[in-house]
Amino acid sequence: MNIYNAYLLIMRVLKFGGTSVGSAEKIQHVAEIINDGVPKIVVLSAMAGTTNFLEEIVKLLYKAKNDEAVAKINELKKQYETVVNELFIKVEFKKKGIELIDHHFQYMHSFTLDSFTIYEERALLAQGELISSAFLHYHLQEAGVNSALIPALNFMRIDKSLEPDDFYIKQNLQREIEQHKGVQLFVTQGYICRNAYGEIDNLKRGGSDYSASLIGAAAGSDEIQIWTDISGFHNNDPRYVEKTVSLKELSFDEAAELAYFGAKILHPSSVLPAKMANIPVRLKNTMKPEDEGTIIKDTFVQGEIKAVAAKDGITAIKIKSGRMLLAYGFLRQVFEIFERYQTPIDMITTSEIAVSVTIDDRKNLDDILADLRKYANVEVDENQSIICIVGNFLAEEKGIVAKVMTALKEVPIRMVSYGGSMHNISVLVNTSEKIKALKLLNENLFNL
Ligand code: ASP
Ligand code: MG
């Protein structure tokens, strides 16, 4: 038990992603999963597709194409009306559902009346989670389940540097919960929060996982569960490789590496709060609740290669300078340029006269290259993929790098990085070689 837990109840946190609440039937299914008597906080995403749809409306409004925005808002409203009809049985609840969406869509329409602002953008993007969570709560009420809807906007907050305000979250979440004596099932929204100025804001796309992790840490939960449409992390990417197996167990560090590279199963930021509070994170499949899924916790299995994953859309930049030879300060100059354009570097390898780095965000590539060329010769390779091999490796352990390289002996490799952490070997290949590389690694490392 967490000794800092100020709550009387140990609350488990269960987060359901957009596909898990993507239709009336799926919301009913979620209600069945959560109604098992274990005290919990349920964190919901918007229904699948909604946030993308809202982003399209945002774009139209910024372009002052208000008529098109109105048409889109009406289109979305129609979809929600269908959900209300299918989700609720009693007239009283159908009416409640319709009133709810009327309220939210009227608010959305108010943004189409004059020029559009960043505040309105964020308020608009928050509507998806506000509606999905209210739907589940009303559905539970209709089924006679004692639940409470607690607004994330009353307790989730980021500070001026856009980091979560842990103290505020803990205090205010506790206050929200204490207002509902006798209730053991709480429903809230993922993704949305307030910022340091009290305005509506969000934790960025895919941020509901992060919400769940922050809420779990604030509530001193015994477990944080992330429910999606796949049975946890797999040892390889099932989209490209035929035989993959789901992983029973990962350490926090391994999960952090995989979340960054992996196929959007878990938002990378969500590992840290759970790790800091040492709360296990379990990945579950809403469509197959009986599957064990993956548990992420504080334990390591030594020397094991756990999984491989790939990330596309990578650009490699080779920076070569005679000045680098026996010089210091050159790398600082290079890094400063990336910092200036707020572009994170993923992989880095050096030789005596050159350094190669990779980036995934190409937004400021032209400016970066122009600045680099003031100091060095620069070559750029586009359409690269990072293949990341994750496990728990010890420096004194023999053979792990050799195994990986042997598996990839038929694949041209642009960069290799090992030793940055003991959990990762990364290789950079042309994206056209990615599937071949993933398959070879599957055969040779996992005998699959
Ligand atoms: N609804 C938000 C999104 O689609 C947040 C989330 O689902 O995690 O990005
Ligand atoms: Mg998601």
List, as one string, the DSSP characters of 319-360: EE-GGGTT-SSHHHHHHHHHHHTT--EEEEEE-SSEEEEEES
Does residue 348 belong to any structural domain of this protein? Answer: yes
Report pLDDT digits (tens) over 33-69: 999 999 999 999 999 999 999 999 999 999 999 999 9
4: confidence class by pLDDT, cuts 50, 70, 90: very low
Tens of pLDDT, residues 285-339:
999 999 999 999 998 777 789 999 999 999 999 999 877 666 778 888 899 999 9
Q: Please give the model's pTM, rounded to 2 decimal places.
A: 0.90
In a domain, 404, yes or no: yes
Q: Does residue 22's CB lie within 6 angstroms of at least one atom of ligand 1?
A: no
Residue 172 predicted with pLDDT over 80: yes
CA 64 to chain centre: 31
Percentage of the chain lying above the pLDDT 70 cut: 96
Do both 198 and 327 map to the same domain?
no
| pLDDT above 60: residue 7 | no
Query: What is residue 245's three-state secondary structure?
Result: coil
Whether 205 is in the pocket of ligand 1, judged by its Cβ within 6 Å, is yes
In a shared domain, residues 315 and 175: no
**How does pLDDT run across 404-427, given as a tens digit for each residue?**
999 999 999 999 999 888 889 999
Angstrom distance (rounded) from CA 429 to CA 409: 12
Instruction: Give the end of a domain, one of 229, 246, 281.
Output: 229
Residue 269 within a domain: no
Say if residues 274 and 216 touch (Cβ distance below 8 Å): yes
Q: What is the pLDDT of residues 182-216, one digit of tens each?
A: 999 999 999 999 999 999 999 999 999 999 999 99
Q: What is the reported pLDDT for 73?
A: 98
Domain C-terminal end among 229, 253, 282: 229
Average pLDDT for residues 333-359, to the nearest whole number?
93
Domain stops at, among 229, 258, 282:
229
Structural domain containing residue 361: 305-445
User: Rounded to the nearest 10 degrees, what angle do helices 91-110 and 66-87 cross at?
Assistant: 170
H/E element, 84: helix 66-87
Give the model's pLDDT for residue 136.
Answer: 98
Q: Are 204 and 37 in contact (CB under 8 A)?
A: no
DSSP codes, 251-268:
EHHHHHHHHHHSSSSS-G
Whole-number mean pLDDT of the chain?
93
The answer to whether residue 55 is domain-embedded is: yes
Question: In this structure, is residue 215 part of a structural domain?
Answer: yes
pLDDT at 322: 73
- 247 occurs within a structural domain: no
201 and 350 share a domain? no
Q: Is 206 in the pocket of ligand 1 (CB under 6 A)?
A: yes
Q: Is the CB of 232 under 6 A from ligand 1?
A: no
Structural domain includes residue 234: no
**CATH number where 337 lies:** 3.30.2130.10
257 in a domain, yes or no?
no
Residues 218 and 336 in one domain: no
Beta-strand ranges (E) seen in 38-191 are 40-44, 148-149, 185-189
Out of 21, 51, 228, 266, mutate this one to test ligand 1's pocket (max ligand atoms within 8 Å of CB): namely 51
Residue 166 has pLDDT above 90, yes or no: yes
pLDDT recorded at residue 5: 47
Give residue 88's pLDDT: 98
pLDDT grade for 263, boundaries at 50, 70 and 90: low
Residues 370-385: what's their mean pLDDT? 95
CATH code at position 71:
3.40.1160.10
pLDDT of residue 284 exceeding 70, the answer is yes
Q: Is the model's pLDDT at 179 over the cut of 60?
A: yes
Average pLDDT over residues 355-381: 95
Does residue 78 sit in the same domain as residue 211? yes
pLDDT at 421: 84
Q: Is the CB of 190 under 6 A from ligand 1?
A: yes
Residue nearest to atom 5 of ligand 1 (CA): 206
pLDDT tens digits along 9-23: 789 999 999 999 999
Q: Is the pLDDT of residue 375 over 80?
A: yes
Instruction: Say if residue 92 is in the same domain as residue 209.
Output: yes
- Number of folded domains that form the chain: 2
